[in-house]
Chains A and B, each alone.
Chain A
Amino acid sequence: MAAPSTTVDVVAPRSSGSDNYLTHDKGVLSWIFTLDHKRIGVMYLCSVLTAFALGGFFALLVRTELLTPQRTIMDHDTYNQMFTLHGAIMVFLVIIPGIPAALGNIIMPLQLGAKDVAFPRLNLASYHLWIVGALFMLSSLAINAVDTGWTFYTPYSTTTSTAVVPAAFGAFILGFSSIFTGLNFIVTMHKLRPPGMTWFRLPLFCWALYSTALIQVLATPVIGITLLMMIVERTLHIGIFDPMLGGDPVLFQHFFWFYSHPAVYIMIVPAFGVIGEIIPVFSRKRIFGYKFIAVSSLAIAFLGFLVWGHHMFVSGQSVLAGTIFSAITFLIAIPTAIKVFNWITTMYKGVIHLDTPMLYALAFLWVFTIGGLTGIFLAVMSVDVHLHDTYFVVAHFHYVMMGGAITAFMGGLHYWWPKFTGKMYEEKVGRVGAALVFVGLNVTFFPQFILGSRGMPRRYYNYLPEFQPLHVLSTLGAYTLGIGFLLTAFYLYKSLKSGKTAPMNPWGGATLEWHCSSPPPYYNFHKPPVVTAGPYDGYENLMYDETISGYVPRKEKIV
């Protein structure tokens, strides 16, 4: 952090309007060792999208294998490795860093009105750690891919012959990457707010990132020590988790879920933030219940720490602990519902523009509500005993993680794409892509609810023939999803090459990032902006200018 003066590079403001963070420096090294939060965010974004493609490829392999009740394309050991890699990559490499580290890094300081994050070098270190962690995790693929499931449960993880250690060590390093990002964001939001940017003028995306960062800082160290203990258990047999040596595997699950349940909120709370940005802008209406949405993020972050045991109802955990965890789990529905109700109320009597980001936001509301409500089924201990480790659970968390976090990530990507690339994508193709993703998602995962409630266990290679029609349907949905994402990748890439130049404010947002040029200049704001209104105020003072396809301030202000 504290900078020796050698790296402090203060340049006089450029007068040329065309200079932006993308063109400010040239060369690969100027990217790899950049301290600019936007560039780091873009690098994160590219890496995360690469990992997403890889994880998605494994998912398609898994779904293809499940087309038939017996062997389709791979043997059962490979199948175990495929779903493990799919899970581990999607959780640790895609969803956790997806919105905070990639989109958050690019957008949050802009929204805040800061020149950069508080510790630019820590930010870069966090990205480099991410790369190292990802390489470790993928090295497991090259050696003998890990087959424990992404949860690394002992005693299987300490006895299986696959390469658990590199994968777990990769997750350990990724944890530190995540901690440093969270730490950086908290300090940035505390210390780098410009004049007038009070806490309750922060955009909801910032609030969500703040809550996320608190979880990252408080929970992630515990997974660090847990994975470290697991690695040592595996290599030196220290007997902390291995029952053969006097250890306790349920203790591992406590350790693991003390992080990994809050980690679920590391994944979904930033998604809430993105939705909170998109809905008011595309409804041309001030957000409803701003303070409630802001504070409910904190409430979710806090409650998220008190419920980890609901993953362990059938693990040998005591009934007492199960009861406590079950009861608290119901409480989480309250702040979550507050958010959903407020978003819906925001749209009420708004002027809704069904552009691609808004389509993703609407898709989010649909699938997240299904995902959230099925979570309440699973929070009931007696129901969970029946549904535990079935496809019902798989469907539930895919509705939340894939349907919630990834949909919001896609929404945010489209929403801010013009801002950080300076290019517009093809709107009509974008809508087709969003529709394909929405349909594919529901076709893939809804049948899994039915499968699960009928008793199809998760992670099984073979299944009863009666389950085949629903499995085929689910696989077809997965292919639809794949096509939707390929289409999206195609038109986004095309927009970089031949897209129209983006205006400063294509959607009519009022938050500070839309006050910068697209793409933003190197130092964002040459003078700290002075904030005088809330983040969702003043839509009425913006008007659409067809000549630039973007919003400009209205000449005569409406009072």
Chain B
Amino acid sequence: MANDDTPQNAEQPKSMQGSSEETPTIAPEDDATAPNPAFEPTEQDEPEQDEQADAVSEDPQQGHEKHEDHGLAHTMPIWMMLAVLGALMALTILTVSVTSFDLGSEGNLVVAMVIATIKAGLVVTFFMHLFWDKKFHLILFLTAVLFVILFLSMSITDRGEYQHNIDLYTNATTPAVGK
């Protein structure tokens, strides 16, 4: 078991490990600016090309050129993560404070949903790496959203159409208290 669990690289001599961790912000900063994002889409755009791309990326030379940032996926710089968190926190404060204003019958709901969607967009784009990820994953995610909209819109439209029947039933069956 011990043998199997031995990692290929992560278990480093303690001294080295420590030295990098005490200055985590420095290494990443440098790291973030280094990769050329232009390389990313060309390799990751088309899922169909995976096998071929794999074969190529195994080659150290090619790999060096293509995977400026650690081979398998994009590495997000720390400043960006912190910035996204800052934005998310600010939007949370905004959405709470907006509730104290009256923006009309549906206004508050719309504003709250718009803010929530912006927040969700930030999380999906940056924390979930969709900005750099394969486009197919973006398509998948949008498909999910599309089908949710389809499901909700048809159900709700129909419910709106037959609501008057339910109202008739409710009014007929509710005991009129105090009459």
Q: Chain A interface (Cβ within 8 Å of chain B)?
A: 4-6, 190-191, 193-195, 198-199, 218, 222, 243, 248, 250-251, 254-255, 258, 305-306, 308-309, 316-321, 324
B56 to chain A, nearest CB (A): 12
What's the minimum C-beta distance from B57 to chain A, rounded to whole angstroms?
14
- A113 shortest CB reach to chain B, Å: 11
Query: Which residues from B are CB-within-8-Å of A5?
Result: 4-5
User: Which of B52, B143, B155 meets A251, CB within 8 Å?
Assistant: B155
Q: Are A248 and B159 neighbours in the complex by a CB distance under 8 Å?
A: yes
Instruction: Find out whether the CB atom of B5 lies under 8 angstroms from the CB atom of A4.
Output: yes
Q: How near does chain B come to A306, taking the closest CB pair, in angstroms?
A: 7
Question: What is the minimal beta-carbon distance from A150 to any residue of chain B, in angstroms?
Answer: 21
Residues B158 and A193 in contact, CB atoms below 8 Å apart:
no
With known contacts A316-B165, A320-B161, A254–B155 Cβ distance under 8 A = yes
Pick the 4 closest A-B CB pairs, nearest first: A318-B161, A321-B158, A254-B155, A5-B4
Q: Is the CB of A319 within 8 A of B161?
A: yes
CB atoms of A4 and B51 under 8 A apart: no
Contact with B143, one of A194, A218, A308, A324 (Cβ below 8 angstroms): A218
From residue A328, how far is it (CB to closest CB) to chain B in Å?
Answer: 10
Collect the chain B residues with CB atoms within 8 Å of residue A320's CB: 157-158, 161
In the assembled complex, B98 has its CB within 8 A of some CB on chain A: no
Residue of A nearest to B48 (CB): A199
A-B pairs under 8 A by CB, number: 58
- Please give, as numbers and ranges, the residues of chain B lying within 8 Å of A194 by CB-CB distance: 51
Q: How far is the CA of A193 from the CA of B136 in the complex (A)?
A: 17
Residues of chain B lying within 8 A (CB to CB) of residue A199? 48
Contact A305 B150, CB 8 Å, known A251-B155, A321-B158: yes
Once A190-B47, A198-B48 are accepted as A-B contacts, the answer to whether A218 and B158 lie under 8 Å apart by CB is no
Inter-chain contact B147/A318, CB cutoff 8 Å: no
Most chain A beta-carbon neighbours within 10 Å: one of B51, B52, B147, B158: B158
* Chain B interface, DSSP helix/strand/loop, else mixed: helix
> Does B151 have its Cβ within 8 Å of any Cβ on chain A?
yes
Nearest B-chain residue to A322, judged by Cβ: B158
Contacts of B147 in A (CB 8 A): 218, 305
Closest residue to A194 on the B side, CB-wise?
A: B51
Distance in Å: Cβ of B138 to nearest Cβ of chain A: 15
- When the two chains form their complex, are residues A250 and B154 in contact, meaning their CB atoms are under 8 A apart? no
Q: Which of B4, B143, B165 contacts A4 (CB 8 A)?
A: B4
A187 to chain B, nearest CB (A): 10
Known A-B contacts A199-B48, A218-B147, A248-B166; the reply to A321 vs B154 at CB < 8 A is yes
Contact A195 B158 (CB under 8 A): no
Distance in angstroms between the alpha carbons of A308 and B151 in the assembled complex: 10
Some 15 contacts from A to B, beta carbons below 8 A apart, are A4-B5, A5-B4, A6-B1, A190-B50, A194-B51, A218-B143, A218-B144, A254-B155, A254-B158, A306-B150, A308-B154, A316-B162, A316-B165, A321-B157, A321-B158
Cα(A179)–Cα(B1), bound, Å: 32
> Are the CB atoms of A318 and B155 closer together than 8 Å?
no
Interface members, chain B 117-143 (any A CB < 8 Å): 136, 143
B47 proximity list for chain A (CB < 8 A): 190
Chain B residues whose CB sits within 8 angstroms of the CB of A248 once the complex forms: 159, 166
Q: How far is the CB of A245 from chain B (nearest CB, A)?
A: 12
- A318 to B162, Cβ gap below 8 A? yes
Q: Which residue of A lies closest to B151 (CB)?
A: A258
Q: Which of B2-23 contact A (CB under 8 A)?
A: 4-5
A11 → B minimal CB distance (Å) = 16
Q: In the bound complex, how far is the Cα of B9 from the Cα of A443, in angstroms?
A: 68
How distant is A60 from chain B, measured CB to nearest CB, in Å? 38
The residues of B that contact A321 with a CB separation of less than 8 Å are: 154, 157-158, 161
CA–CA, A172 and B161, complex, Å:
30
Tell me the bound Cα distance from A193 to B5 in angstroms: 30
B167 to chain A, nearest CB (A): 12
Chain B nearest Cβ from A244, distance in angstroms: 9
Q: Would you give the 0/1 interface string for B58-98, flagging 1 where the beta carbon is closer than 8 Å to chain A?
A: 00000000000000000000000000000000000000000
Task: Tell me the complex Cα distance, A243–B166, Å.
Answer: 9
Residues from chain B with Cβ under 8 Å of A258 in the complex = 151, 155
Task: Please measure, in the bound complex, the distance between the C-alpha atom of A321 and the C-alpha atom of B52, giving whole angstroms.
Answer: 47
Q: Which residues of A contact B55 (CB under 8 A)?
A: 195
Partner of A191, one of B50, B157, B162: B50
Chain B minimum-CB-distance residue to A192? B51
Contact between A250 and B162, CB atoms less than 8 A apart:
yes
With a cutoff of 8 Å between Cβ atoms, the chain A residues found around residue B51 in the complex are: 193-195
